[in-house]
Amino acid sequence: MAMSQAIHLRDQSDVLDDFSVEVTTKDTAQLAAMSGAIPKGTIISIPFLSTESDADRIRAAKMVRQAGYVPLPHIAARRLGSESMLSAMLSALVNDAQVSRLLLVAGDADPPKGPFLDTATILRSGILEQHGISNVSIAGHPEGHPVQNAAMLTSALLEKRLIMEAANIEWSIFTQFAFASEPVLAWIGELRRLGIEVPIHIGIPGPASVRTLLKFAAVCGVSASTSVLKKYGLSITQLLSSAGPDALVNEYATGLSNAEYGDVRLHFYPFGGLHKTVDWLQEYRTRPS
């Protein structure tokens, strides 16, 4: 398989080409009014939150589709109680929201609530193909994982690649967010050297208060050293101040002009609220290069 063509930047705002956004179920109703900032056809990922029901997730995916976007529901393997539960949810997602792609994560239930120990267990089951799911995204961890070491993460990624390619499933990677571009670009470079050429969506923390960003960093195991935060524009002495990803996105605008990284796009986590992220996107797009 030939390496995907890199994004060649005409100006600074081109780094936003084909970006995607994560939107919680309660915020999907806002999407219909946001076509000016979020182009129709944009991938909208919907997290699998433990406080929400399958009905909530299905309704959210339907609203995303009705607003003119592409729903990417998350499925947390270890939170599924049974194969029939997964099958019923997939049937509803496909029938009600024309879902053809999913993002699979392991989930943090310990022990697992049902038969799925991890995302590979779902992929091996054949259930996705039975319901017409033709595109699967998996999670990437450029800065590591609180439980698995780097070798374990790489081994698991290569295993999932073999399963999906054998099943003729298109796939991509969505990464955890990070405050610095260097470890992310180094990680992407290593994946390309391993022959993994699929699209990679880099996690970008949307504008939010310093307190909020640090909270999510702690929960997600993201590196938030003082030096990294300073480079990002954050100060731990000003917890209530707000910061946006301007410097970080500028770094990617420069770094991704290197063809060795292949097909890489930005994926925004609106930690400070969807409207803040949308306002930032509009401002950045219209900024002089």
The SS3 assignment for 28 reads helix
How many residues in the chain? 289
Q: Residue 38: is its pLDDT beyond 80?
A: yes
**CA-closest candidate to residue 75, choices 92, 63, 66:** 92
Is there a cis peptide before residue 111, judged by omega within 30 degrees of 0? yes
pLDDT value at residue 216: 79
Q: Are 220 and 179 in contact (CB under 8 A)?
A: no
Per DSSP (E only), the strands in the chain are 20-22, 43-46, 70-76, 101-105, 135-140, 170-177, 200-205, 208-209, 242-243, 264-269
* CA–CA–CA angle 10, 14, 18 (5° rounding): 135
Which amino acid, 51?
T
**CA-closest candidate to residue 263, choices 11, 13, 18, 10:** 18
pLDDT band at 3 (very low <50, low <70, confident <90, very high): very low
What structural domains and CATH numbers belong to the chain? Answer: 12-285 (3.20.20.220)
**Which stretch of 92-96, 221-225, 262-266 has the lowest confidence by average pLDDT?**
221-225
- Percentage above 90 pLDDT, the chain: 68
Q: Residue 107: is its pLDDT beyond 70?
A: yes
* Gap between the Cα atoms of 129 and 223, Å rounded: 37
Placement of tokens 């998996």 in the chain: 138
- Kindly tell me the sign of the dihedral angle through the C-alpha atoms of 216, 191, 285, 48: negative
pLDDT value at residue 9: 40
The SS3 assignment for 13 reads helix
pLDDT value at residue 257: 87
pLDDT value at residue 10: 39
pTM recorded for the entire structure: 0.89
Please, what is the end-to-end C-alpha distance for the chain in angstroms? 34
Q: In whole numbers, what is the pLDDT of the chain averaged over residues? A: 88
* Gap between the Cα atoms of 187 and 192, Å rounded: 9
Q: Residue 279: is its pLDDT beyond 60?
A: yes
Over range 45-67, report the average pLDDT.
95
